[in-house]
């Protein structure tokens, strides 16, 4: 008899993807699942009972793709207990108390060596947590170290350097791996001479406004409000996802941004359209948007569907950060004021903002600038024009000429 169709332990959905099998030390295997609805990952253990000719399914109630579970391959089964502060701390205790069930390395590494590597990765990530690093940083470090541990002996720097030298990845990716390894080896007191890979700066992709509007119009209420906010303000997606309802001033149509990555705090205006989109979102908690993993899963799936439906592969190049690049480029083109763009983005160093001057010159090099032109013969008329954004050009026959970019 066929086993019962599993359900997501998080949301109860049956819309699941098979996410591969994991072999256990006793020779059995565990099916991994990924929920297409909420992005929750979990594994299933099927126990065969010949007496009743049926299958009993048991779910391991551990989020496998969270920042705390990423660093190790053995994915210790942790039961949910009240008052648990951190899955990583409990995993470290479990590794110290009992031998985990692990897969053997394809290169023939021993189980003891793999446990040692996993334990050191866990200790390093727990150290980052105590140092105040963000969940995104911890997740990124964990995924990189986990990948290297599968490919080579992570505790031997020369083997790691040899793998990076032969790996088919770009210079920027290798630079990021080396930066991660420097922190890990410094923590574990392993001496090494890091290879030199230079980070290559690339000009970001700037889509058309119509392509951004397509994604906004064809998304859910919450996701469309998030994309509209990114398009109007140019804030980072991490800043947007941390917003609470108290940060939105519906009367003055402003949003208060709590910065990340050393940016400056700021208050940014938003449109009536954005306010109306926010009012359509159900108020279930003090936070406006879901977690980053859920938002990314939904956005990437919708983006792929639209790119296939419209036959426009350019849509696949658009990410959350693309909205920030687009806003900065359009704002500089409209104002020609790089200081204004710097303050809008919250940059502390203007060198990070100057790239948008290059993008503006490249995108709009063959287009003629168009202006609205007005005249004023009295001081009152001139004041009104300046208040709505017109700038003075010259005076002809007692008439003052003002202009504003369209």
Flag whether 126 is in a domain: yes
The last residue of a domain, from among 171, 200, 229: 200
Q: What angle do CA 146, 149, 154 make, to 5 degrees?
A: 125
332 and 217 within one domain: yes
| Residue whose tokens read 């290297």 | 148
Flag whether 78 is in a domain: no
Terminal CA-to-CA distance of the chain, rounded, Å? 69
Residue 38: per-residue pLDDT = 78
Residue 46: per-residue pLDDT = 40
Flag whether 360 is in a domain: no
Flag whether 70 is in a domain: no
Residue 55: per-residue pLDDT = 39
DSSP 82-108: TT---HHHHHHHHHHHS----PPPTT-
Flag whether 71 is in a domain: no
Report d(CA 285, CA 283) in Å as an integer.
Answer: 6
> Closest by alpha carbon to 115, among 101, 128, 132?
101
Query: With contact defined as beta carbons under 8 Å apart, do 287 and 186 qualify?
Result: no
Query: With contact defined as beta carbons under 8 Å apart, do 68 and 146 qualify?
Result: no
Whole-angstrom Cα Rg for the chain = 27
397 and 310 within one domain: no
216 and 342 within one domain: yes
Q: Which domain holds residue 23?
A: 1-65
Q: pTM for the whole thing?
A: 0.60
Report d(CA 61, CA 42) in Å as an integer.
Answer: 7
Query: With contact defined as beta carbons under 8 Å apart, do 102 and 77 qualify?
Result: no
Burial (CB count within 10 angstroms: exposed 0-12, middle 13-18, buried 19+), residue 276: exposed
Flag whether 365 is in a domain: no
238 and 269 within one domain: yes
332 and 298 within one domain: yes
Q: What is the count of structural domains for the chain? A: 4
Q: Which helix (H) or strand (E) holds 47?
A: strand 41-49
DSSP tag of 398 = T
Counting as low any pLDDT under 50, the low residues of the chain are 46-85, 91, 95, 98-110
Residue 239: per-residue pLDDT = 93
Dmax over Cα atoms in the chain, in whole Å? 104
Q: What is the CATH number of the domain that holds 240?
A: 1.10.443.10
| Residue whose tokens read 């890979």 | 197
315 and 213 within one domain: yes
Tens of pLDDT along 285-334?
A: 899 999 988 999 999 999 999 999 999 999 999 999 999 999 999 999 88
238 and 329 within one domain: yes
Report d(CA 285, CA 222) in Å as an integer.
Answer: 13
309 and 187 within one domain: no
Residue 94: per-residue pLDDT = 52
């Amino acid at each position: 008899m066929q086993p019962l169709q599993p359900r997501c332990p998080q949301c109860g959905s049956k819309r699941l993807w098979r996410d591969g099998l994991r072999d256990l030390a006793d020779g059995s295997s565990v099916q991994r699942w990924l929920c297409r609805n909420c992005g929750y990952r979990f594994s299933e253990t099927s126990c065969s009972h010949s007496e009743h000719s049926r299958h009993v399914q048991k779910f391991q109630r551990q989020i496998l793709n969270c920042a705390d579970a990423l660093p190790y391959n053995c994915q210790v089964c942790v039961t949910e207990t009240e008052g648990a502060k951190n899955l990583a701390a409990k995993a470290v205790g479990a590794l110290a108390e009992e031998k985990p069930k692990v897969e053997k390395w394809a290169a023939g590494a021993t189980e003891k060596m793999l446990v040692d590597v996993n334990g050191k990765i866990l200790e390093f990530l727990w150290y980052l947590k105590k140092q105040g690093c963000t969940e995104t940083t911890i997740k990124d470090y964990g995924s990189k170290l986990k990948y290297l541990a599968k490919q080579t002996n992570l505790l031997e720097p020369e083997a790691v350097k040899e793998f990076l030298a032969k790996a088919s990845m770009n210079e920027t990716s290798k630079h990021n791996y080396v930066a991660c390894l420097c922190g890990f080896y410094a923590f574990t007191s392993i001496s090494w001479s890091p290879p030199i890979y230079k980070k290559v700066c690339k000009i970001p992709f700037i889509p058309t406004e119509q392509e951004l509007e397509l994604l906004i119009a064809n998304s859910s209420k919450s996701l469309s409000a998030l994309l509209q906010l990114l398009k109007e303000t140019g804030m980072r997606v991490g800043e947007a996802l941390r917003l609470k309802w108290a940060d939105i001033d519906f009367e003055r149509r402003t949003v208060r941004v709590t910065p990340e990555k050393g940016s400056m705090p700021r208050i940014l205006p938003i449109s009536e359209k954005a306010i109306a989109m926010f009012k359509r979102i159900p108020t279930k908690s003090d936070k406006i948007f879901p977690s980053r993993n859920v938002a990314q899963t939904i956005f990437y799936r919708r983006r792929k569907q639209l790119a296939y439906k419209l036959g426009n592969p350019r849509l696949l190049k658009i990410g959350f950060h693309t909205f920030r690049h687009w806003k900065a480029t359009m704002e500089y083109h409209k104002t020609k004021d790089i200081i204004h763009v710097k303050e809008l983005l919250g940059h502390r160093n203007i060198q990070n903002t100057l790239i948008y001057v290059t993008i503006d010159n490249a995108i709009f090099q063959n287009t003629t600038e168009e202006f609205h032109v007005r005249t004023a013969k009295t001081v009152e008329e001139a004041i009104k024009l300046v208040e709505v954004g017109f700038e003075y050009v010259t005076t002809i026959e007692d008439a003052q000429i003002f202009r504003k970019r369209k």
